[in-house]
Homo-oligomer: A and B are copies of this chain.
Amino acid sequence: MPALSPLAPERFPELPAIDGLRLATAQAGVKYRDRTDVMLAVLDPGATVAGVFTRSATRSAAVLDCQAKIGGDSDAGAAILVNSGNSNAFTGRAGEASVARICAAVARACDVPEDRVFTSSTGVIGERLPDDRITAAIDGLVGGLAPGGIDAAARAIMTTDTFPKGAVRSVEIGGETVTIAGIAKGSGMIAPDMATMLVYIFTDASIQRALLQDMLGDLTDRSFNAITVDSDTSTSDTLLMAATNKGSAVHDRHGPFEDALGDLMLDLAHQVVRDGEGATKFIQIDVSGAESDADARKVASAIANSPLVKTAIAGEDPNWGRIVMAVGKSGAAANRDTLRITFGDIEVARDGWVSPDYTEARGAEYMKRDEITIGVDLGLGDGADTMWTCDLTHAYITINADYRS
C-alpha cells in the first residue's frame, strides 16, 4: 500500500444522496482481501445515462459492452456495477462471456433490462475475471441498496489510488437546487495494470440523453483529456453519467448546469493528477498565442508528457531549456523569437533568449512549491489550451518497475 500522496486533498467532500439513485458496496474477493471491491448503483426508471470511453484499440470487454448500449434511450431503470482487482481486458471471448453473465445477473436482481446494465472492471490485465465471485455478491448488494453512500462507492473502486476521489456541485435551476455528485479512481493516465481511470457522476437534474452526451464529450476534452500522468492510455477508461430526472430540467448547452458539471469534472480530474503515481508536484501548463487551439494542445501535451521536463521539476530544477525543447518537438508552429516562457509570475524567457531580469535563483525558489504553473506564449495567434500533469519521480519507477515481480 503506497503512502498517501503529498498532494492529496485535506478531506473527502460530503456527498449528499441523489434522488432516484441507490448504492451499495460489497467484498466480493475478486482479488483483494479485507476491503470492498464491488459497487452497485441502481437508478430509478426514467433515468438518463451517457458516457465517454477510452479510444484504445484494445479496449476491454466491459468498455465494448458499455459502448454498444450507451446510445439507447429508455424509460426503464438502469444499473452500474464496477469491480476493482481485475480489468477483464485482453481476456478474449471469455472476457465477453464474463460481462454477459454479470449483466444478466444484475438485470435479473435489479429488475432492469440487460441493455441498461453497464459494467466496468479495473485491475490486472490478461487474467480471467472470476465473475462467479461477483455474481455471488449481487443479492447481498441489492439487499444493501440505499440512498447516499457515494463515499463508500468511491473507496470500493480504488486500486493503487492513495485516496478516494469525490466532488459535488449544486446549481439553481428554475428556483430549485439540483445536485451533481461524482466519484473517480485513477493514479496513472493511465496505467493499465492497476490505474485505469473510472468516473461516475450522478445528478437529480432532468436532462435528455443527447444533450447530456454532447456536454460530456466537450467537457471531457477540457478535463479528463487534459490531464496526463505518464502518457499511457488505459484499455478500460470509462466515464458514465446518470441523470435521475427527478429535479429541474436542463434544456440548453452552456448554462449554469454545464458550468457546474465542467467544474466538477475538472475537480475530479485534478484529484487524479494529485494521486499520480509518485507525484510530488501538481503542474499546470498554460499555452497561449498559438496559431490554433489544436496547436496549443500539441504544445501543452508535449510539455506535460516530456520525461525531461517532468524529471527536472521533480528535482526542483528550473530547467527552462527543456520547455523550449518540448515546444520544438510538439509539431505545432513555433518561432524562437516570439516565444515567451513564464514560471508563475516570473518571466523566464522572451524574444528568443533568457529574460534580462530572470535569475536562476528566482526560478529555483519557485520550483520549491507544490504547485507549479508553466506559461508558454507562442506569440503567433489566439490559440490557447491548458493541461495538468505531475512530476516524474523515483517513486514512479519503484511503483511500476517493481509492481508484479
Contacts and interface: CB of A to CB of B under 8 A. Distances in A.
Interface of A: 54, 56-59, 89-95, 124-126, 188, 191-193, 230-235, 305-308, 311-312, 314-317, 319-322, 324-330, 332-337, 339, 349, 351-354, 364, 392-394, 396-398, 400-405
A57 B333 contact: yes
A345 to B, nearest CB: 20
Contacts of A126: 320-321, 324, 349, 353-354
A325 B125 contact: yes
Contacts of A329: 56-57, 232-233
A400 B192 contact: no
B58 A339 contact: yes
A312 B400 contact: yes
A353 B94 contact: yes
Q: What is the copy number of this chain in the assembly?
A: 2
B324 A89 contact: yes
A125 B314 contact: no
- Central interface residue in A56, A305, A316, by most chain B CB within 10 Å: A56
A233 B325 contact: yes
Nearest to A334: B57
A10 to B, nearest CB: 28
A308 B232 contact: yes
A231 B125 CA distance: 25
A395 to B, nearest CB: 9
A295 to B, nearest CB: 11
A316 B405 CA distance: 7
Given A126-B349, A364-B405, 10 more contacts: A56-B329, A57-B335, A94-B353, A232-B307, A232-B308, A312-B403, A314-B401, A317-B401, A319-B404, A394-B397
Nearest to A305: B231
Contacts of A334: 57-58
A358 to B, nearest CB: 10
16 contacts: A56-B325, A58-B324, A58-B325, A58-B328, A90-B353, A91-B352, A91-B353, A126-B320, A126-B349, A231-B307, A235-B328, A307-B307, A311-B396, A315-B401, A317-B403, A392-B401
A403 B311 CA distance: 10
A308 to B, nearest CB: 5
Contacts of A94: 353
A99 to B, nearest CB: 14
Contacts of A336: 57-58, 90, 92
A384 to B, nearest CB: 18
A397 B392 contact: yes
Contacts of A335: 57
Contacts of A332: 57
Given A125-B325, A321-B125, A336-B58, A92 B351 contact: yes
B125 A397 contact: no
A58 B333 CA distance: 10
A327 B235 CA distance: 10
A308 B191 contact: yes
A230 B307 contact: yes
Nearest to A299: B57
Contact of A352 (B92, B337, B353, B398): B92
A116 to B, nearest CB: 26
Nearest to A354: B126
A324 B364 contact: no
Contacts of A319: 193, 403-404
B325 A232 contact: yes
Given A307-B232, A322-B193, A58 B317 contact: no
